[in-house]
Amino acid sequence: MNVTGIALVSPEAAEGNPKLTPELLASVLARYSRSNIGLGKILEKVDLNEADASIDRILKFVDYGHASIAGLTGGIAMAVDDISMWLAYKLFEIAQMADGQESSTRYISMDESSLPEPEEIGIPAGLAKEWKSIMTESFHAYEAEYERLDKLATEQPDLVGYPENAKPLVIKRIRKNYALDRARYFMPFACKTSMALVMSSRMWTEAIKHLESLPQGEAHACAEGLRNELTKFSPRLVKHSKKEFSYEYQARQEFEYSLKLGLETLSTENRPDEVWVKVDNDLPDFLPESQSMEDALGQRANRYGRCGSSIRRMRVGFAWNNMAIAELRDLNRHRTGHRFTPMIQNGFYLPPEVDPAPHKDLLKRQKALIKTLMELKSPAYVYGLLLGSQTPFEHSTHADKFVYEAELRTGMGAHFRYADHLSKALHKFWELVPESKPFITEGTAEPE
């Protein structure tokens, strides 16, 4: 694992603008919020050649431990190389106000060389050989299914939704995606990936506290690496990243819940779809809504358009009983509201194009491994999951964010399984809010 903080430089057009370090920016803006003399006057009192002394002088006045000060540091970029897909998932789950990207299974070549060593991720020594054997075999299954599906799509082009008059390179890319998207369920969740996130010092300190509270050693190593890099950008504000009991307590509660539910429902059967949607549109008597649904949604040119108050004030929760981790990795990145999963395996998803019979023994061994790890109360059980492992997933937010997600994940180029999940949720939403249907676009996800 390698953590690298990325410092920004001014573009040429802004050469004449004030230049401040992240902490100096935070301290100046904090002082700005407590003064009416204007930014220019404050900057006159700051000695940019002695930034540290200026920061200490101002923060002594304004830093009462308020997280809002750390939020003024601006976006601090961190790149984290060679972490597991599981840890990347957790970082996105924790960092709800971050912008970021992770290596894509469509564009990054992954094979058994992408696996960490068992001791790196806390696999018990007595299970290390079996874990590595199962993960290696899983990659072999992934590679074999990809080759088979790519050949099938070449021989039967009607299986793939190519756009009309598509050029050869476009056809090749779409055919590749068709095969990758259906074979990827055998990829190990332990597979190494890389990610980059941009957020303020405030959010980084929160993320570090979360990571240190988790039972997985990989999370602790990541927290240490992030803290070391963050110290270069905001050495005074990083003190707010210290361990806190409430984080550890809640992490322990969630871990115990996952073990209990995971052992009760552990399965490799393809769990059929069950979708839950709840809408809450209660409003205060003194602040009623008068806008029609047409006015709220009907004026948008596309999903990026502004929604009106009658949809933005509506609360919505939606959940699936069987979200494969392959899809969970992306749906988890819709940042608004709260996302929750126990991260267990209560089923195993394979698309209709993949026959589970040849992989029966592999999945039997994988299930037994997870069961043993859970019985040992080992937090490393998450590294026994594959991208096809199904787990319940819930997201609660506001209806305008749900509409955006539904239109995006069923729209042109969307993964076929995203489209299945969001289509079913959208139809449930329409049952509850029928007046919205004419103004929400459900896509067909073609071509892939």
pLDDT of residue 64 exceeding 50, the answer is: no
Please give the Cα distance from 258 to 49 (Å, whole number).
53
Per-residue confidence band for 65, with pLDDT thresholds at 50, 70 and 90: very low
Tens of pLDDT, residues 318-332: 999 999 999 998 888
pLDDT > 90: percent of the chain: 62
In the chain, the amino acid numbered 314 is: M
Residue with tokens 């992934």: 142
Tens of pLDDT, residues 250-269: 999 999 999 999 999 999 99
Name the residue with higher pLDDT: 164 or 51.
Answer: 164
Contacts of 100 (CB under 8 A, 6+ apart): 91, 92, 195, 196, 197, 198, 333
Q: What distance lies between CA 212 and its chain's CA centroid?
A: 18
- Taking alpha carbons only, the member of 86, 111, 47 closest to residue 386 is 86
Average pLDDT estimate for 350-374? 97
What is the structure's pLDDT at 52? 65
Q: Are 98 and 199 in contact (CB under 8 A)?
A: yes
Q: Are 390 and 197 in contact (CB under 8 A)?
A: no
Name the residue with higher pLDDT: 383 or 234.
Answer: 383
What is the structure's pLDDT at 73? 67
Name the residue with higher pLDDT: 256 or 54.
Answer: 256
Residue with tokens 């009462």: 64
What mean pLDDT is reported for the chain?
A: 89
pLDDT of residue 55 exceeding 70, the answer is: no
In the chain, the amino acid numbered 215 is: P
Element (DSSP H or E) covering residue 280: strand 275-280
User: What separation in angstroms does the CA of 25 have from each of 5, 32, 126, 340, 438?
Assistant: 17, 10, 52, 35, 47
What is the structure's pLDDT at 169? 86
What is the structure's pLDDT at 51? 60
pLDDT of residue 181 exceeding 50, the answer is: yes
Tens of pLDDT, residues 140-158: 999 999 999 999 999 998 8
Per-residue confidence band for 283, with pLDDT thresholds at 50, 70 and 90: very high
pLDDT > 70: percent of the chain: 91
Please give the Cα distance from 142 to 280 (Å, whole number).
42
Average pLDDT estimate for 4-14? 86
- What's the sign of the alpha-carbon dihedral 65, 76, 81, 92? positive
Average pLDDT estimate for 435-445? 93
Element (DSSP H or E) covering residue 218: helix 217-233
Average pLDDT estimate for 369-382? 98
Name the residue with higher pLDDT: 331 or 28.
Answer: 331
Residue 364: other Cβ atoms inside 10 A = 11
What is the structure's pLDDT at 61? 42
pLDDT of residue 448 exceeding 70, the answer is: no
Q: Are 118 and 160 in contact (CB under 8 A)?
A: no
Average pLDDT estimate for 34-63? 65
What is the structure's pLDDT at 272? 94
Per-residue confidence band for 176, with pLDDT thresholds at 50, 70 and 90: confident
Average pLDDT estimate for 174-183? 89
Please give the Cα distance from 69 to 200 (Å, whole number).
10
Going from the N-terminus, what domains does the chain have, and what CATH number goes with each? 2-78+193-243 (3.30.1360), 110-191 (no CATH), 256-349+388-439 (3.30.1360.170)
- Taking alpha carbons only, the member of 438, 443, 437 closest to residue 423 is 443
Please give the Cα distance from 376 to 372 (Å, whole number).
6
Average pLDDT estimate for 422-447? 93
pLDDT of residue 235 exceeding 80, the answer is: yes
pLDDT of residue 46 exceeding 80, the answer is: no
Per-residue confidence band for 74, with pLDDT thresholds at 50, 70 and 90: confident
What is the structure's pLDDT at 335? 75
